[in-house]
């Protein structure tokens, strides 16, 4: 399993017209269903006079949580084309909402699918994509005299210090790249000749 994933760092928005209908698309980062509901609600409030608010999301580090909504458009013409644009970029923790103001001309199922897909594509193009590392929290404790070898291990591996307490005894919460946890713990233990403590691994 990969210990990185692609998501949005910043939102993107675009707008275009097709046969008189106006499509406003918002692509945004979201990591929970609660965030999704809030963001969709915010779009509905902002675009309160629109005909449809169609959306799709993929959530979770492995992208297993996925849903889409046609919001009254013919089945398969809105939510799925939006989701395909998310998947084309291999994104997760991503929500795209496409709002339609009906312009009086029926677009047909093919026309609708193209319009919603193109709107989502445009919004995602304007969003900022980032690759994030999946990290496991590791809690460490060691004596002040062992600071130098401990710091060497922290630099040797892909880590980030999330919390720290420095007295005569140092305690750290370190985010360690998921694929390196076992090797990191072993290297830390060896470098300090067993004097350091690995208090916990994981949440």
Q: Cβ(31)–Cβ(59) under 8 Å? A: yes
152 and 111, same structural domain?
no
CA nearest to 48, candidates 32, 31, 24, 29: 24
Residues 115 and 139 in one domain: no
> How many domains in the chain?
2
Last residue of a domain, one of 75, 101, 132: 132
Q: What is the pLDDT of residue 19?
A: 86
Q: What is the pTM of this model?
A: 0.81
Q: H or E segment at 120?
A: helix 108-126
| 32 and 114, same domain (yes or no) | yes
| 199 and 140 Cβ atoms separated by less than 8 Å | yes
Residue whose pair of structure tokens reads 């692609």 in the numeric block: 6
- Cα gap 151→78, rounded to integer Å: 52
Last residue of a domain, one of 114, 132, 150: 132
Phi, psi of 80 (to 5 degrees): -65, -45
The helix or strand, by DSSP H or E, that contains position 153, with its residue range, turns out to be helix 147-156
**120-165 per-position pLDDT tens digit:** 999 999 999 999 998 999 999 999 889 999 999 999 999 999 999 9
Cα–Cα distance list, 159 to 58, 110, 198 (Å):
27, 48, 15
Tell me the H-state helices in 47-78: none
Answer yes or no: do 190 and 157 share one domain: yes
Among 90, 106, 132, identify where a domain stops. Answer: 132
Per-residue pLDDT of 64-112, as tens digits, reads 999 999 998 999 999 999 999 999 999 999 999 999 998 777 778 899 9
Beta-carbon count within 10 A of 126 CB: 15
What CATH number is attached to the domain comprising 194? 3.30.70.240
What are the Cα distances from residue 98, in Å, to 72, 79, 106, 175? 13, 9, 17, 36
């Amino acid at each position: 399993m990969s210990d990185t994933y692609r998501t949005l760092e910043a939102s993107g928005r675009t707008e275009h017209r097709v046969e008189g209908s106006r499509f406003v698309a918002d692509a945004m980062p979201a990591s929970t269903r609660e965030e999704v509901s809030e963001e969709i609600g915010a779009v509905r409030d902002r675009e309160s006079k629109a005909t449809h608010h169609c959306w799709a999301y993929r959530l979770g580090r492995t992208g297993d949580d996925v849903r889409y909504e046609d919001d009254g458009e013919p089945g398969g013409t809105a939510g799925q084309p939006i989701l395909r644009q998310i998947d084309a970029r291999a994104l997760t923790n991503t929500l795209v909402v496409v709002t339609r103001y009906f312009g009086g001309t029926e677009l047909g199922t093919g026309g609708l699918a193209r319009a919603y897909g193109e709107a989502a594509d445009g919004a995602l193009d304007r969003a900022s994509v980032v690759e994030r590392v999946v990290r496991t929290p590791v809690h460490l404790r060691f004596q002040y005299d062992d600071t130098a070898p401990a710091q060497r291990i922290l630099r040797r591996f892909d880590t980030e210090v999330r919390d720290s307490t420095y007295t005569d005894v140092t305690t750290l919460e370190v985010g360690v790249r998921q694929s390196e946890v076992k090797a990191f713990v072993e290297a830390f233990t060896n470098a300090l000749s067993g004097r350091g403590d690995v208090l916990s691994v994981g949440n």
